[in-house]
């Protein structure tokens, strides 16, 4: 079962999702036949199967496997003593559920599971832990998608504060959040705030990227468009 699971991960990395799903399913079958159930490993494999199905856009099937994985993981994180690895694994499954709910446009469940993931992760990990930051960013994105712009901005600002404190203002991670924040300001027609964000990103990209890089050109065009919108709004 262990060798099958390992092979499945290699196949997944090679984008051979049919082969990886077959390996993961065979590993689960072997483990389920064992009298002493290896629940932790089975849960991870169920999550892996869900990831393979997600890559194939089989979102409803993926949900079933993510849910099965989560049901097996919950007992290990519901007690007073929580192992970090158990919290990490459960958080991964919850965020995978969130991504899947987002893909099927279930805008009620998507933020719910991301919030649950964040609550679980912050009960064990520091605010600047990579898992916490990823979940914060994902939750902010979901909030923006469902029209809760103010909540999304609060989450982006919180993420920015942590990123600046841990990685510095000029970090790639902070620039990514800065661009997302700027885009959200554009949606809210707060063009002045959006311009501030994109100008910071543009200056950073000028230092980091070749002058003909498409990303740099796209950001420069975005700045020009926002300046044009500002001019229209002030005339």
* Mean pLDDT per 10-residue section of the chain, whose length is 235 residues: 87 91 92 77 94 95 96 86 89 95 93 94 89 89 87 88 85 87 87 91 91 90 90 76
**Helix, strand or coil, per DSSP, at residue 82:** coil
Domain-embedded: residue 137: no
Domain match, 213 and 104 both:
no
The pLDDT value given to residue 146: 87
Q: Is 83 found in the same domain as 9?
A: yes
The CATH number of residue 222's host domain is 1.25.40
Residues near 48 by beta carbon (within 8 Å), at least 6 away in sequence: 5, 8, 9, 12, 20, 24
Q: Are 2 and 67 contained in the same domain?
A: yes
169 part of a folded domain: yes
Contact status, residue 110 vs residue 140, Cβ threshold 8 Å: no
Last residue of a domain, one of 110, 125, 140: 125
In a domain, 93, yes or no: yes
Percent of all residues in the chain with a pLDDT value above 70, rounded to a whole number: 98
Instruction: Write the CATH number for 74.
Output: 1.25.40.10
For 204-214, how does the pLDDT look when each residue is reduced to its tens digit (9 = 90+)?
A: 999 998 888 99
Q: Specify the number of domains making up the chain.
A: 2
Distant-in-sequence contacts of 85-88, Cβ < 8 A, 24+ apart: 86/40, 87/120, 87/121, 87/123, 87/124, 87/125, 88/131
Pair 61, 7 in one domain:
yes
Q: What's the pLDDT score for residue 235?
A: 64
- Say whether both 114 and 158 belong to one domain: no
Predicted TM-score (pTM) of the model is 0.80
Which residue range(s) make up the domain with 156? 152-234
Distances (CA, A) of 120 to 27, 32, 71, 90, 164: 28, 28, 15, 8, 23
Q: Is residue 176 part of a domain?
A: yes
Of 48, 14, 16, nearest in space to 31 by CA: 48
């Amino acid at each position: 079962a262990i060798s099958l699971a390992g092979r499945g991960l290699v196949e997944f990395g090679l984008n051979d999702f049919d082969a990886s799903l077959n390996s993961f399913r065979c590993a689960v079958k072997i483990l389920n036949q064992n009298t002493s159930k290896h629940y932790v490993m089975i849960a991870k494999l169920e999550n892996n199967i869900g990831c393979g199905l997600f890559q194939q856009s089989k979102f409803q099937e993926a949900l079933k496997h993510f849910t099965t994985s989560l049901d097996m993981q919950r007992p290990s994180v519901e007690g007073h003593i929580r192992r970090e690895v158990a919290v990490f694994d459960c958080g991964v499954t919850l965020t995978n559920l969130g991504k899947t709910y987002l893909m099927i446009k279930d805008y009620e469940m998507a933020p719910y599971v991301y919030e649950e993931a964040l609550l679980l992760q912050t009960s064990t990990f520091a605010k600047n832990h990579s898992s916490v930051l990823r979940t914060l960013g994902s939750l902010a994105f979901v909030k923006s998608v469902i029209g809760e712009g103010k909540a999304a901005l609060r989450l982006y600002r919180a993420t920015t504060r942590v990123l600046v404190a841990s990685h510095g203002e000029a970090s790639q991670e902070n620039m990514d959040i800065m661009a997302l924040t700027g885009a959200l300001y554009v949606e809210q027609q707060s063009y002045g705030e959006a311009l501030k964000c994109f100008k910071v990103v543009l200056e950073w990209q000028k230092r980091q990227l070749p002058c003909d890089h498409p990303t740099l050109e796209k950001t420069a065009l975005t700045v020009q468009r926002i300046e044009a919108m500002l001019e229209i709004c002030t005339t």
